[in-house]
Chain A
Amino acid sequence: MESNITARKAVEFKKGLQSGMSICIGYLPVALTFGLIAKTTGLTLSETVLMSLLVFAGAAQYISLSLLAAGTGTFEIVLTTFIVNIRHFLMSASLNEKASGDSVFGKMFYAFGITDETFSVAATREEPVTVWYMLGLVFISYASWVINSGIGFLMGAGLPQVLQDSMSIALYAMFAGLLVPSMKKSRKVVFLAVLAACFNSTFMLGKLMPTGWAIVAATLLSAVLVEWIEIMGRKRKVNQAEN
């Protein structure tokens, strides 16, 4: 019995590692570039690696570098980091609905590793999300992020230009790869994604709000609107059936 449970944990961990492979590839160019820019911004190697180790949030780390370079104060950088990462609240709330009845401490532990990428992979998983699956998924993504940040700093150069350019599509390609199978199965998913993409494009291109809030607002608006339309449609059908 005991060994059975251990074996199941190992299987889940391994599945997590496997589904994290695309994140591992996708983080490579982003983390290398982060290390490189951190160096030119004046961070030491240990500060660069420490930031990737403790923060583990790509967009926020990039923004903090450009703010540091502009001589922005600590408080403003921390506040900006908070705002940029507030979207993860929504992601964790969504994942919490899908996470099986594991201990809250396990969830609090892997919560550290909730990024746009790990969330997207976990949330589109067909089976329930377990702690050990998340640990495998987060581990491989985190390792790629931290190690490649350090390598980028040390190399002092990115990948060859053509590869660096073409690899910048990796994370977006992964998002498409996660989204499309569900789009093919459900029209609701198509509406959700297209609507959120339109809202976010409007907010961003119209410069209506900063990046962090634009994604949160676009996601929520789309998720609420589609849910509301679906419920109204269901009610109308019930009413028609009654009359």
Chain B
Amino acid sequence: MVVLIAAMAVVTYIPRMLPFVMFRGKELPPFVQGVLKNVPYATLGALIFPAVFFIQEDMIYGAVGAAAAFGCAFLGANVILVVIGAITVLSAYSYFF
């Protein structure tokens, strides 16, 4: 088991670390730089959807949570408040339904 865990640790660390060494002090082509600047926002979209619909068996549950989170965020709440707001809305939702 320890060998398995150690091997999992190594293959997880390598992709996390490699870019910092590979691209050290290198000026990447402008197009690649532009793409890498786009990555965070694209990642966020892909991290949220479709996974948020499958947090519970009932897809509506995830949809309500997502709507609450996007709603709070759109109204300008900071991240912690968005998290607490979404949890509160879903607690109320499961209490009433």
In chain A, what residue has the closest Cβ to B82? A177
In chain A, what residue has the closest Cβ to B11? A82
A92 to B14, CA, bound (A): 11
Within 8 A of A (CB), among B1-32: 1-9, 11-13, 15-21, 23-24, 28, 31
Binary interface profile of B, 76-90, with partner A (CB < 8 Å = 1, else 0)? 111111111111101
Within 8 A of A (CB), among B65-82: 65-66, 68-70, 72-74, 76-82
Main secondary structure of the interface of B (DSSP, over half): helix
Tell whether, in the assembled complex, residue A22 and residue B62 are in contact, meaning their CB atoms are under 8 Å apart: no
A173-B35 in contact given A111-B13, A112-B17, A120-B43 (Cβ < 8 Å): no
Task: Tell me whether A209 is interfacial, beta carbon within 8 Å.
Answer: no
* Residue of B37, B40, B49, B85 with most chain A CB atoms under a 10 A cut-off: B40
A209 to B8, CA, bound (A): 22
Chain A min CB distance to B41 (Å): 4
Task: Tell me whether A107 is interfacial, beta carbon within 8 Å.
Answer: yes
Q: In the complex, how many residues of chain A place their beta carbon closer than 8 angstroms to a beta carbon of chain B?
A: 95
Identify which of A3-11, A147-155, A192-200 touches chain B.
Answer: A192-200
Tell whether, in the assembled complex, residue A124 and residue B90 are in contact, meaning their CB atoms are under 8 Å apart: no
A205-B1 in contact given A93-B23, A179-B41 (Cβ < 8 Å): no
Q: Which of A19, A114, A163, A200 touches B91 (beta carbons < 8 Å)?
A: A163
Task: Tell me whether A140 is interfacial, beta carbon within 8 Å.
Answer: no
In chain B, what residue has the closest Cβ to A215? B46
Contacting residues, chain B, for A194 (C-beta < 8 A) = 45
Task: Tell me whether A141 is interfacial, beta carbon within 8 Å.
Answer: no
A139 to B84, CA, bound (A): 22
Chain A min CB distance to B64 (Å): 9
A162 to B96, CA, bound (A): 12
Q: Which of A26, A89, A95, A181 touches B18 (beta carbons < 8 Å)?
A: A89
A174-B82 in contact given A97-B36, A104-B21 (Cβ < 8 Å): yes
Q: 10 pairs across A/B with beta carbons < 8 Å?
A: A47-B1, A82-B15, A89-B18, A95-B19, A108-B17, A119-B40, A176-B48, A179-B73, A182-B41, A222-B42
